Structure 1
Amino acid sequence: MNPLNLSTPAEHPFAPYVRILGKGKRGARNLTQDEARDAMGMLLDGQVEDTQLGAFLMLMRYKEESPEELAGFTQAVRTRITAPPIAVDIDWPSYAGKKRHLPWYLLAAKCLGDNGVRIFMHGAGAHTAGRLYSEQLLQQLDIPLCRDWSAVAHSLDQRCLAFMPLNDWMPGLQRMIELRNTLGLRSPIHSLTRVLNPLGARCGLQSIFHPGYQEPHREASRLLGDSSIVIKGDGGEIEVNPDVAGHLYGTANGLAWDEQWPALAAQRHVKPERLEPDHLLAFWRGEVADAYGELAVQATVALALRGLGVMREAAFEQAQGYWLARNKSI
């Protein structure tokens, strides 16, 4: 009788990265920046099993991503972007959606674009129920939807504003985001999209809603050599909430800086009972007034100008001028 022919299967090349994160309280550790870059590269290149993908994302979610990991992930993404050189002033990720207030930030972006500030916006669609996403309002607000880099370049040259869905330039990340309803939790990919700044804009704006995440995001941008401002934006979008004081976590030229912005309203505004997108258009045209919306738009415009080096008081004065002189026709 022949003995059983037993052999140990070879370990999958991605298994070490799962093991680093999941080896237990004493054995687990963060990935180094190089390890994070290599791991994300394998994920994007489809070199992992679905079980490994789910395990990796949830282990990262449980422990929370480090600045070095975010920076390494971003490096992997950037090396796989096929965009030609396109000049951009502001990188504007829009991935959270709004549920308590209208997306006033879209009007801020329009206002900036009308005044020559080149803004590249990107997002990932309606991955969470009950929220209003940028993509749902682009046509109504006459914000160009671009499906390739050539269209982005043309739109920025003509309108200084372009929106491109994540799925059109990094479908691997889009797939990971769409696992949210399969895994039951958002993964670190939702955070990563804020850091990406795929076209190397002069300043990347980032909104991180959950406390404690702002500083790691700033540090990730610093490690990458980027200039950025991270805020706790309303609903997770890049939108200043005028009812509360805000903290700006900035980085430029390899150095971190901080700035506190006071609340702009003496008392909190009443939240709308429901979100009516038509109200945004009517407000832009000057057909209706909205005290909260006016403050939110102007403060968000000022935030972008602050990211381009304008000091706070001058940024608010300039933002008010942009808003009052806007072209009200759409």
Structure 2
Amino acid sequence: MTASHDPAAAPFPCARFIKEIGRGPNGARALSAEDTFALYRAMLDARVSDVELGAILIAYRLKGESADELAAMLAAAQASFEPVHVQDAAFRPVSIPSYNGARKQPNLVPLLALLLAREGVPVLVHGVEQDPGRVTSAEIFSALSLAPSTSHDAIEDTLAERRVAFAPIDVLAPRIARLLSMRGVLGVRNSTHTLVKILQPFAPAGLRLVNYTHPPYRDSLAQLFRDHPDAALGGALLARGTEGEAVADTRRQVQVDWLLDGVCDTLIDAERSSTDAPPVALPESRDAATTAAWTDAVLRGEVPVPDTVARQVATIVQIARIAC
């Protein structure tokens, strides 16, 4: 599989692929890794017609992606954009995908990123700037005077200067952003929403925080990283997310797994929530301004860091540290 791209190339006919993946959840068959790579690369290059693109996205929505298909899609996705380069002698960079935002609970992704940056870890948060009905990390960062990066150079410059940057997906990876935006046309998420959560934005590879919402996805993601070394470069911390975000749930400790070189190690065991546990000090409301003010208070030491978030920070710092 090669990584060359030519957006001006001839249209890419997809009928033979749709015939395989479009037979429904019981009759559909997975494509080979080579076919999946070629198909997704053509989708990224806008060589697939709108009708065929919609059919493919819905077919995968119903069928689901095998680990081999997901690995091939990821390879095509990562070849479609310029990676971010970070020069740091003490820590490997960390990427945090942020594509869901807060719906019921406050969004603590900016707090996590800023706590890591304070420890010296370069952190790239990538995601969407707005999502109707949700509070995005971009909105909270903006309230904390950290504006979204507007170019690839700005991403790298901000990481060098402030240790933390927010990269809108349309700035980091415009071709991927176009497929992500199909949700607004079709009304449902597609394979790209999974890919952006496992994307490796750095070269050399950095540490990724990867989260899942439904327990069955834990096994499929673990299989992906175990069976496909290229997909696991840099390693991934895998845990159940908080409303789809890769920050620790303040209500309970979830299991955290570390996947690298085909091995899955459990670093933190899950704990049951207890009604006797003292309440966690959190923002009074989930809006961006209130969450930003609370985040700032935590960083100043006026409010304690939630225990699960503090444990997450310590775990990431330990893994990201470069041995001298």
TM class by smaller structure: 0.7 to 0.9
- Alpha-carbon offset, residue 294 of structure 1: 2.6
SS, match of residue 251 in structure 2? coil
1:280-308 superposed Cα distances (whole Å, 9 cap, x missing partner): 333323589667x6335323323423543
SS, match of residue 205 in structure 1? strand
**Matched residue, 2:3:** none
Written as runs of structure 1 = structure 2, the 5 A alignment for 1:149-188 is: 149-188=152-191
SS, match of residue 236 in structure 1? coil
> What is the CA–CA distance in structure 1 between the aligned matches of 2:102 and 2:246, rounded to whole Å?
11
SS, match of residue 215 in structure 2? coil
1:192-221 superposed Cα distances (whole Å, 9 cap, x missing partner): 101111214431101111221122223323
- Choose the corresponding residue for 1:279, options 259, 273, 290: 290
Residue 126 to residue 92, structure 1, CA distance change in 2 (3 Å) = same
**Matched residue, 2:5:** none
Matched, 1:105 2:109: yes
SS, match of residue 142 in structure 2? coil
SS, match of residue 256 in structure 1? strand
> What is the CA–CA distance in structure 2 between the aligned matches of 1:110 and 1:268, rounded to whole Å?
25
**Matched residue, 1:63:** 63
Count of aligned pairs between the two proteins: 298
**Matched residue, 1:195:** 198
1:26-81 superposed Cα distances (whole Å, 9 cap, x missing partner): 65211232222111100001110111111111111111222212211111012122
The answer as to whether partners of 2:102 and 2:286 remain within 8 angstroms in 1 is: no
- Choose the corresponding residue for 1:298, options 290, 303, 310: 310
**Matched residue, 1:6:** none
Residue 138 to residue 29, structure 1, CA distance change in 2 (3 Å) = same
In structure 2, runs of 5+ residues without a counterpart are 1-10
Matched, 1:235 2:243: yes
The answer as to whether partners of 2:96 and 2:125 remain within 8 angstroms in 1 is: yes
> What is the CA–CA distance in structure 2 between the aligned matches of 1:268 and 1:275, rounded to whole Å?
21
- Alpha-carbon offset, residue 24 of structure 1: 5.2
> What is the CA–CA distance in structure 1 between the aligned matches of 2:249 and 2:278, rounded to whole Å?
10
> What is the CA–CA distance in structure 1 between the aligned matches of 2:25 and 2:118, rounded to whole Å?
52
CA RMSD of aligned residues (A): 2.8
SS, match of residue 214 in structure 2? coil
Residue 278 to residue 300, structure 1, CA distance change in 2 (3 Å) = farther
> What is the CA–CA distance in structure 2 between the aligned matches of 1:261 and 1:69, rounded to whole Å?
30
1:173-194 superposed Cα distances (whole Å, 9 cap, x missing partner): 2222222233221112111101
Return the TM-score normalized by structure 2. Answer: 0.81
Matched, 1:216 2:225: no
Could you tell me which amino acid in structure 2 is paired with residue 225 of structure 1?
A: A
The answer as to whether partners of 1:123 and 1:165 remain within 8 angstroms in 2 is: yes
Could you tell me which amino acid in structure 1 is paired with residue 232 of structure 2?
A: G
- Alpha-carbon offset, residue 108 of structure 1: 1.5
Identity %: 24
Residue 308 to residue 258, structure 1, CA distance change in 2 (3 Å) = same
Runs of 4+ with deviation above 6 angstroms: 270-273
Q: Which has the larger radius of gyration?
A: 1
**Matched residue, 2:49:** 49
The answer as to whether partners of 2:86 and 2:160 remain within 8 angstroms in 1 is: no
> What is the CA–CA distance in structure 1 between the aligned matches of 2:140 and 2:257, rounded to whole Å?
29
Residue 162 to residue 180, structure 1, CA distance change in 2 (3 Å) = same
Could you tell which deviates more after superposition, 112-121 or 138-147? Answer: 138-147
- Alpha-carbon offset, residue 82 of structure 1: 2.3
**Matched residue, 2:254:** 246
Could you tell which deviates more after superposition, 77-86 or 239-248? Answer: 77-86
Could you tell which deviates more after superposition, 36-45 or 149-158? Answer: 149-158
Matched, 1:262 2:262: no
Residue 235 to residue 69, structure 1, CA distance change in 2 (3 Å) = same
SS, match of residue 141 in structure 2? coil
Residue 24 to residue 146, structure 1, CA distance change in 2 (3 Å) = closer
Residue 299 to residue 104, structure 1, CA distance change in 2 (3 Å) = farther
The answer as to whether partners of 2:150 and 2:171 remain within 8 angstroms in 1 is: yes
> What is the CA–CA distance in structure 2 between the aligned matches of 1:12 and 1:197, rounded to whole Å?
27
